[in-house]
């Protein structure tokens, strides 16, 4: 029969074999006793924690991890010790390098021949897969956002074509009205000249009739002004709704802002005081259609932010290599948590059906295409200030608009920096 020495040798061989087997496993493996002390760890576990085996054996989680992490590990171990049920749980572990990892730990209960209980745990590092999942989710959300933007962009393009078509249809009868009014004014002048040529005896008989028509020049003049205004609004709408980006032109941003104000006159004139502080500014290179859309969006947002009566102040000035257009309102202001998202697509604080959340996003995109920037400053109940910053145009060939870009070579009227 084999003696004691042979038994010891066989047991030692079994332990060495077992230890070699768990060391061959790529996932971290550990064994804890009833006091929650590590009594066995494979090489993968030591590498995962970032400490030598000699440091870990006989120690517990509280010797190496934060109290918060160690308390979680301790609690889950106790659940297995008391219930004997396998526990699979997502946990967080901070290694010796200070890197916090997401882990999935499977803990089982092992009872030896002497009745002593041990926790056998296997760890799977889920950090990489969780990061990949988060990246995939972000990519999916970005794709959905892009799809929504494409759908909305197509809707807006269709709406633009519709508005342009309507403007064209209105433009034709407006042209007839204007033409007829100008002809009527010429007839009125002829009539007035004819009456003056009549003998006084005849003219005196028509005196009461003439007095009843004294306001006819004013009526004709005001009607022509109204028709001219309709024509100008139609022109602005056609520019605003034009589906193409439009050519880059060398122009004055103040003129573009005035067109935007003309479009919004009906919503502004009853309760909003407009303060124009137009400083002299150099010419800049911009797309008329796109910049008109920018200013309409900004001024319309300012008007909608004002409850009741209020004021919108528009400033223009040049500083360094840029022209600035500043729109300041006395409205409700923007909450601090909303400021970082104000230019995000589809972000809006308006009620459902009153805003798409695309206005400022498109504004930001257009300004970027012009190599400019847009800023917003606001506090709740203190209004908001939107500032558009566009590069001053460069010198170009004769008859050719300048392009934004390299500083120090500006195209502008004399006296500007």
Q: Tens of pLDDT along the chain (417 residues)?
A: 555 666 677 667 667 777 788 888 888 999 999 999 999 999 999 988 888 989 899 999 999 888 998 999 999 999 999 999 998 888 888 888 888 888 889 999 999 888 899 999 998 888 777 777 777 888 888 887 777 766 666 665 666 666 666 666 777 777 767 777 778 777 777 777 776 676 666 555 555 556 656 666 777 777 777 777 777 666 656 655 554 455 788 899 999 999 989 888 877 877 899 999 999 999 999 988 889 889 988 998 898 888 888 999 999 999 999 999 999 999 888 888 877 777 776 556 655 444 445 667 778 888 888 889 998 998 888 899 999 999 987 544 333 444 443 333 332 322 223
- How do beta strands 272-278 and 310-319 pair? parallel
In the block, which residue shows the tokens 């009014």? Answer: 181
- How do beta strands 384-391 and 284-287 pair? unpaired
- pLDDT given at position 155: 60
CA distances to 236, 239, 257 from 233, in Å: 5, 10, 14
- pLDDT given at position 410: 30
For 95, residues 6+ apart whose C-beta sits below 8 A from its C-beta are 48, 49, 50, 101
CA distances to 153, 343, 386 from 156, in Å: 5, 18, 24
Compute the Cα dihedral for 330, 336, 337, 343 and give only its sign.
positive
CA distances to 27, 158, 259, 306 from 69, in Å: 20, 57, 63, 51
Cα 331 to its chain centre, rounded Å, is 21
Q: Which one, of 208, 282, 279, 288, lies nearest residue 247 by Cα?
A: 288
For 290, residues 6+ apart whose C-beta sits below 8 A from its C-beta are 245, 246, 366, 369, 370
Query: Is residue 35 packed enough to be buried (19+ CB in 10 Å), middle (13-18) or exposed (0-12)?
Result: exposed
């Amino acid at each position: 029969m084999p003696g004691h020495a042979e038994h010891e040798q066989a047991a030692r061989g079994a332990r060495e074999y077992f230890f070699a087997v768990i060391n061959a496993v790529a996932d971290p493996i550990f064994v804890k006793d009833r006091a929650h002390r590590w009594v066995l760890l494979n090489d993968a576990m030591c590498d995962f924690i970032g400490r030598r085996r000699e440091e870990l054996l006989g120690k517990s989680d509280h010797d190496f991890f934060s109290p918060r992490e160690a308390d979680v590990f301790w609690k889950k171990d106790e659940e297995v010790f008391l219930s004997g049920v396998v526990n699979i749980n997502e946990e967080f572990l901070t290694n010796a390098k200070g890197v916090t990892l997401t882990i999935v730990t499977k803990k089982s209960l092992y009872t030896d021949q002497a009745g002593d209980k041990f926790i056998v745990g296997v760890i799977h590092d889920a950090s990489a897969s969780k990061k990949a999942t988060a990246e995939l989710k972000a990519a999916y959300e970005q794709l959905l956002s892009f799809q929504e933007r494409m759908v909305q962009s197509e809707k807006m393009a269709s709406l633009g074509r519709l508005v342009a078509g309507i403007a064209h249809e209105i433009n034709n009868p407006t042209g007839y009205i204007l033409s007829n009014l100008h002809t009527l004014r010429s007839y009125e002048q002829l009539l007035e000249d004819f009456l003056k040529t009549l003998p006084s005896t005849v003219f005196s008989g028509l005196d009461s009739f003439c007095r009843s028509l004294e306001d006819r020049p004013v009526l004709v003049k005001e009607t022509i002004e109204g028709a001219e205004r309709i024509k100008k609004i139609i022109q602005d709408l056609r520019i605003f709704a034009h589906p193409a980006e439009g050519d880059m032109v060398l122009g004055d941003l103040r003129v573009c802002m005035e067109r935007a104000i003309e479009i919004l006159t009906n919503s502004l004139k009853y309760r909003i005081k407009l303060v124009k502080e137009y400083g002299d500014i150099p010419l800049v290179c911009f797309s008329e259609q796109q910049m008109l859309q920018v200013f309409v969006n900004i001024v319309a947002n300012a008007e909608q932010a004002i409850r009741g009566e209020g004021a919108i102040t528009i400033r223009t000035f040049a500083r360094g290599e840029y022209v600035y257009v500043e729109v300041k309102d006395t409205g409700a202001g923007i909450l601090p948590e909303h400021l970082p998202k104000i230019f995000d697509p589809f972000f809006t604080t308006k009620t459902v059906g009153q805003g798409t959340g695309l206005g400022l996003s498109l504004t930001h995109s257009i300004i970027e295409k012009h190599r400019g920037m847009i800023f917003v400053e606001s506090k709740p109940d203190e209004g908001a200030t939107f500032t558009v910053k566009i590069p001053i145009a460069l010198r170009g060939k004769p008859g050719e608009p300048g392009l934004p870009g390299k500083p120090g070579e500006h195209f502008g009227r004399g006296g500007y920096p």
